[in-house]
Structure 1
């Protein structure tokens, strides 16, 4: 995917703040500290477009990023952070559930799970909830660079089995450090958003220019 432009648009807390241009939206969901911001930055070849918070669970809104004037990434608040109050968790839960179930522009949810560990009960619940409502879903195992090649394959199988993923369901093993899985994930995103994905690979020079301009 050739990244021509990427920018932060808005932190939305409800439908009145969502963009109204009708562009397809790709949501990213996962536990706090699973690497959503790092994944967004790697996909877009930007260093700090999506900020990594020093306080897990701090993100309380849906953060919208517009890419190439043709689609949005939507960073969903991380789930499972204990220091967030019960009332806040309930409010976030209602906001997220309403967005995921009712937003017509939503074309795909990318569920991020730390590949180093088996999916948690919360990861399983999120996967089952999304599957139950028929929401298009792609699972991404993050931090693949922290494992050996043999471990990556093994942990990928564990993730599939633990989640009960049907045969053929998309699972991308991803590293924000090395870029492993980036091209595969972009193909899935482009297909879901119905945008062209057959751009030639970016050269190292183009990649550096993108980062420098960010």
Structure 2
């Protein structure tokens, strides 16, 4: 399958570098470029991409607003956020809006190609370690508004007991193998539960599960001391 890709970045040199790098992959076709988020809707309509590589910081309409608008569309392409920071507030908001993950601008070229392929295949580009780091960042942003907390708690309450246990473990940044060991189930069973949770809650990826768990109760989603280590 050829992956149809749009590159959105306000820096023409960055766009040129990404086009050169990604266009060299046999299974990736660059079908369009944009310099600002305002150009994205028409470009997506015209080119029907599978993945949008989206810079988070642009001067007129930033990547966050563009991602939020794009993911509300029916049959929306996947969004891979391009950023210079691991876990700032805008990245977290983009993930809440449905971005499938993020890559840093200094990521090795081969890893960016791999990230595009993974996103196109429906896999989020976030390791459990990065998920834990994100949860630590989210926990430091202050109290969750009461309405959002109640709504999140109601959504989790609609899950079956085993599904909710898996969702809470995802919220603590656990990998599938760690969840399997904690809950005494096989890794394929964990994957099946995660898929059902995503379907029932209408979410795109496990990071959105983790953010929902934090919204419901920050103490539940607290990854605990030392768990933010990335290694």
Task: Give the TM-score, by structure 1 length.
Answer: 0.30
Larger radius of gyration: 2
When you count strand as a share of all residues, which structure comes out higher?
A: 1
Larger relative contact order (Cα-Cα within 8 Å, sequence gap ≥ 6): 1
**Structure with a larger share of its residues in helix:** 2
